[in-house]
């Protein structure tokens, strides 16, 4: 592989080679940065902490089957990192005060490795050369298909963030369609069915539909799956296998879905009032484009690393993983 040519692109390069570039200023990235500096093997000048917002950006805690187990292991003063009781601006303030580090507001579009083993990070402000790349960019919820929904996605996607939103639906004349095959869909659909059954809400047969792609995920919570199957047997929930490749969505005069055109056919909504959609089509690893390198050439930390290994974690889990990776890094790469 040839070295990068000298030219217009080279003018953008920062002349000094940074020893470590950390992409992502969330909990994992900031903890990793903190431990490297405190090891005294690195100074703040040796490390670039990069985030698109230019600020410390903690992710939100996610509920999952392992949360209660994690809460039992962490100290009481840090349990809010697991149970999500403190989120948004409060959580941001906690990490900003605890880790007051300089964060560069660069969006890294591309990572390229040259024949000398250096990495070039192409950002919105030019390019950066670095010896090591730490990825702490987190996980993004993948809501498909963006081409169909675009800026109007909120018009179609009813995420039912508050349980009281269920009460607005006339289940005799309307239905709810969940698109996805993960725990989120299983949990919300069975909770909805349970609420309808417990409160004797009038409803039509198959008023809740779950559009899955082939099968449910094999790492789903078995309890959630059993709960859904219970309402499938009662005829309240219907499982529909589709391609998820949505071409167009038609709505009625009330703004509810009347028809979904899929790659493998057209789904006409049987309910006279139309359907509500709740879209949960999975998570994706949010990383820049890799050129002449793979994720094995980089160091993944936090929830990004745990997700790659098939785990979903809380912020506390993410911090523990970042600490472990930082100690390993200092031992193996410290100057």
Strand bridging mode 257-262 / 108-113:
unpaired
pLDDT digits (tens, 9 = 90+) for 147-195: 566 666 677 777 776 667 777 889 999 999 998 888 888 988 998 999 9
pLDDT exceeds 50 at position 251: yes
pLDDT digits (tens, 9 = 90+) for 226-250: 999 999 999 999 998 887 777 778 8
- Distance of alpha carbon 285 from alpha carbon 305, whole angstroms: 9
pLDDT exceeds 70 at position 144: no
pLDDT exceeds 70 at position 7: no
Instruction: Give the pLDDT of residue 70.
Output: 73
CATH fold, domain 146-279, is: FAD/NAD(P)-binding domain (3.50.50)
pLDDT exceeds 70 at position 13: no
Domain with CATH 3.50.50.60 in the chain: 8-141+284-333, 146-279
pLDDT exceeds 80 at position 203: yes
Question: Which region holds residue 4: left if phi is over 0, alpha if psi is between -120 and 50, else beta?
Answer: beta
Reported as a pLDDT band with limits 50, 70 and 90, residue 284 is low
User: Among the listed ranges 10-19, 86-95, 216-225, 277-286, which one has the minimum average pLDDT value?
Assistant: 10-19
pLDDT exceeds 50 at position 5: no
What separation in angstroms does the CA of 289 have from each of 21, 122, 234? 16, 10, 47
- 130 neighbors 47 (Cβ within 8 angstroms): no
pLDDT exceeds 50 at position 65: no
Q: Among 89, 87, 27, 94, which Cα is nearest to 63's?
A: 87
Q: What is the mean pLDDT of residues 262-281?
A: 85
Strand bridging mode 139-141 / 126-135:
unpaired
Q: Looking at the domain covering 8-141+284-333, what would its CATH class be?
A: alpha beta
pLDDT exceeds 90 at position 35: yes
pLDDT > 90: percent of the chain: 38
pLDDT exceeds 50 at position 43: yes
Reported as a pLDDT band with limits 50, 70 and 90, residue 146 is low
**The residue to which tokens 């094995």 are assigned:** 296
pLDDT > 70: percent of the chain: 84
Give the global pTM. Answer: 0.61
Instruction: Give the pLDDT of residue 281.
Output: 72
Q: What is the mean pLDDT of residues 259-284?
A: 83
Q: What is the mean pLDDT of residues 48-68?
A: 72
- Distance of alpha carbon 263 from alpha carbon 327, whole angstroms: 49
pLDDT exceeds 50 at position 36: yes
Strand bridging mode 283-285 / 139-141:
antiparallel
- Distance of alpha carbon 298 from alpha carbon 192, whole angstroms: 42
The pLDDT mean for the chain works out to: 82
Q: Roughly how many angstroms between the first and final C-alpha of the chain, as a whole number?
A: 28
Q: What is the mean pLDDT of residues 117-138?
A: 90
Instruction: Give the pLDDT of residue 86.
Output: 76
pLDDT exceeds 70 at position 46: yes
pLDDT exceeds 60 at position 3: no
pLDDT digits (tens, 9 = 90+) for 288-331: 889 999 989 999 999 888 877 766 677 888 899 999 999 999 99
């Amino acid at each position: 592989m040839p070295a990068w040519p000298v030219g217009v692109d080279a003018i953008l390069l920062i002349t000094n080679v940074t020893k470590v570039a950390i992409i992502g200023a969330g909990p994992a990235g900031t903890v990793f940065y903190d431990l490297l500096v405190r090891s005294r093997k690195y100074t703040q000048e040796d490390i670039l902490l990069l985030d698109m917002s230019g600020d410390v950006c903690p992710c939100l805690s996610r509920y999952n089957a392992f949360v209660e187990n994690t809460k039992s292991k962490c100290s009481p003063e840090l349990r809010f990192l697991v149970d999500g009781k403190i989120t948004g601006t409060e959580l941001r303030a906690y990490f900003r005060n605890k880790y007051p580090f300089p964060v560069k507001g660069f969006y890294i579009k591309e990572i390229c490795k040259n024949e000398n083993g250096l990495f070039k990070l192409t950002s919105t402000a030019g390019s950066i050369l670095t010896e090591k790349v730490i990825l702490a960019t987190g996980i993004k919820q993948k809501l498909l298909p963006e081409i169909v929904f675009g800026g109007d996605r909120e018009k179609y996607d009813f995420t039912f963030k508050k349980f009281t939103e269920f009460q607005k639906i006339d289940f005799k004349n309307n239905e709810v369609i969940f698109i996805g095959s993960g725990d989120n869909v299983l949990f919300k659909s069975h909770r909805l069915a349970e609420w309808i059954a417990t409160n004797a809400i009038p409803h039509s047969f198959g008023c809740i539909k779950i559009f899955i792609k082939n099968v449910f995920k094999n790492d789903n919570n078995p309890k959630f799956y059993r709960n859904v199957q219970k309402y499938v047997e009662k005829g309240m929930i219907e499982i529909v296998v589709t391609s998820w490749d949505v071409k167009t969505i038609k709505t009625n005069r009330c703004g509810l879905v009347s028809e979904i055109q899929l790659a493998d056919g057209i789904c006409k909504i049987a309910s006279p009032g139309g359907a509500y959609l709740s879209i949960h089509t999975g998570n994706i690893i949010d990383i820049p484009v890799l050129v002449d390198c793979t994720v094995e050439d980089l160091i993944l930390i936090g929830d990004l690393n745990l997700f790659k290994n098939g785990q979903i974690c809380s912020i506390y889990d993410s911090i523990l993983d970042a600490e472990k990776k930082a100690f390993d890094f200092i031992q193996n790469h410290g100057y």
